[in-house]
Amino acid sequence: PVYQILCYSAFLLLQDGGGGAQGRGRRAAAGVFMDVTRAFSGAASSALFLSPSTFTSRRRGSSGMISPPSFSSSASSPPSSTSSLSAEKHGPIRAATPSAAISLQEEGGKRVGGVSGDSFIRPHLRRLSPYQPILPFEVLSSRLGRKPEDITKLDANENPYGPPPEVLQALATLKFPYIYPDPESRRLCAALSEDSGLGADYILAGCGADELIDLIMRCVLDPGDKIVDCPPTFTMYEFDAAVNGALVIKVPRKSDFSLDIPGIIDVVEQEKPKCIFLTSPNNPDGSIINDEDLMHILGLPILVVLDEAYVEFSRMESRMAWVKEYENLIVLRTFSKRAGLAGLRVGYGAFPLSIIEYLRRAKQPYNVSVAAEVAACAALSNPGYLEKVKHALVAERERLYNLLSEVPFLKPYPSHSNFILCEVTGGRDPKKLKEDLVKMGVMIRHYSNKELQGYVRVSVGKPEHTDILMKCLQLLT
């Protein structure tokens, strides 16, 4: 088909050639097209062959226009039924054979000619499995037949205390919701600069950190490029890689959920992946990456994306400032956990200046809404509240860990985040455990992927949420 299109392009140039300099120019251009087609087809090609004499003879029809070129098959060509330009197969060149144009009239919800809607979707996306999100309160309330306040939601690592009161006040007095937001989120980036101590030039805001994960992949990966993933971890990395047509190389974590540094080094040397996604603290187990391991990975020829969605609960300093020293480091953060703004979708990242320029070009221009920017700025205006909530959640995490350790069929893992991963022991079925708790109005996270088939994850809530969970677990003991 490409060969035929090239030939027909040469034909069109000659058709309107005329005389004089313009005609000579068009004939010269047609010659270039013929050179390209000959190079494209090659001596042994089985493609359709168009004789150069078709153009040199300049056959004219009764209208005085050059007749469409005829295509003849070589010895190895397909049957003659495929040896002519067909509008049915070559939409852009229907003018050559108008009688062959197909009707696009719809009949019974299907297009005539065998064209269905999903045929326009990229093939790798037709094979894509959808991401499995956590259900919100209103859906759970409808399915369980319970009021939202009667549901103990410990399955999505949300902040049960919600945002500072300044956020609700700012949203209630929002002045210009009908005006498009600032495409550069300048007010928010300035507030984040003050909060982090990093220059605003290094900071990019997004519609949640999830948007930035996808944006990074769109800017960095060509289809077929490779990324390194270290499961069990946040499954959005693997999902977004599939959306962007990338290949995922998995280097599983050790039994204690620490990174396999030698394994990562081997994969980078052998497979030449473009980037690696790391989470610290890691979701779902709450383990952290120490400085030594991170510097080992930063020494490799690979872009390192460090997701710090839960760093506030770890008592570790953020590595945002490291982007000024390492050209291959990106650090992602979010307002979902720290500030209780999961429903408004606000995330941000720290990027080397040599990278952030291109992400700014490629991102959607109005990706952070007016409401989201106002809410995030209001949350940052009350750091005392954020610290108080953080300390409350860390204290409750320790209490929850101790209580879960007393449950005979659960083995909790120490966590540096706002959740605790538990291995389900004693022959219990983790899926049934979750289902039994759901019937009591308590939501926890169960996993179907092979790395975590025997585990459940419990988010840290308020003390009263822990009390309800423990009462339900006692009933199941």
How far, in Å, CA of 377 to CA of 372, rounded?
9
Residue that wins the pLDDT comparison between 14 and 85: 14
Average pLDDT over residues 336-340: 96
Q: What percent of the chain has pLDDT over 90?
A: 67
- Cβ–Cβ < 8 Å for 292, 260: no
Q: Is the pLDDT of residue 14 over 70?
A: no
| Paired tokens of 221 | 């990966």
Looking at residue 138, what is its pLDDT?
A: 80
Confidence of residue 94 (pLDDT cuts 50, 70, 90): very low
Which amino acid is it at 232?
P
Cis amide linkage into residue 281, ω under 30° from 0: yes
At 120-146, the pLDDT tens digits run 999 999 988 888 877 777 887 888 888
Confidence of residue 41 (pLDDT cuts 50, 70, 90): very low
At 428-474, the pLDDT tens digits run 999 999 999 999 999 999 998 888 999 999 999 999 999 999 999 99
The answer for residues whose C-beta is within 8 angstroms of residue 191's C-beta and 6 or more apart is 376, 377, 380, 381
Confidence of residue 181 (pLDDT cuts 50, 70, 90): very high
Q: Is the pLDDT of residue 247 over 60?
A: yes
CB atoms within 10 A of CB 403: 16
How far, in Å, CA of 379 to CA of 170, rounded?
10
Looking at residue 323, what is its pLDDT?
A: 98
At 300-337, the pLDDT tens digits run 999 999 999 999 999 899 999 999 999 999 999 999 99
How far, in Å, CA of 35 to CA of 31, rounded?
6
How far, in Å, CA of 36 to CA of 410, rounded?
69
- Cβ–Cβ < 8 Å for 23, 15: no
How far, in Å, CA of 398 to CA of 263, rounded?
33
Please name the residue that has the structure tokens 């037709």: 126
DSSP letters, 405-417, are: HTSTTEEE---SS
Mean pLDDT of the chain: 83
Predicted structure pTM score: 0.76
How far, in Å, CA of 307 to CA of 319, rounded?
10
Q: Is the pLDDT of residue 370 over 50?
A: yes
Looking at residue 420, what is its pLDDT?
A: 98
What is the biggest distance separating any 2 CA atoms in the chain, rounded to whole angstroms? 96
Residue that wins the pLDDT comparison between 148 and 423: 423
| Paired tokens of 20 | 């004089």
Note every long-range contact of 470-473, with CB atoms under 8 Å and residues 24 or more positions apart, other chains counting. Answer: 470/403, 472/437, 472/440, 472/442, 473/407, 473/410, 473/437
CA of 166: how far to CAs of 240, 249, 313, 373, 378, in Å?
34, 44, 22, 13, 6
Confidence of residue 78 (pLDDT cuts 50, 70, 90): very low
| Paired tokens of 288 | 């952290």
Q: Is the pLDDT of residue 226 over 80?
A: yes
The neighbouring-strand residues paired with 469 are: none
The answer for residues whose C-beta is within 8 angstroms of residue 346's C-beta and 6 or more apart is 188, 205, 206, 207, 208, 334, 335, 336, 368, 372, 373, 375, 376
At 380-414, the pLDDT tens digits run 999 999 999 999 999 999 999 999 999 999 999 99
Average pLDDT over residues 68-96: 38
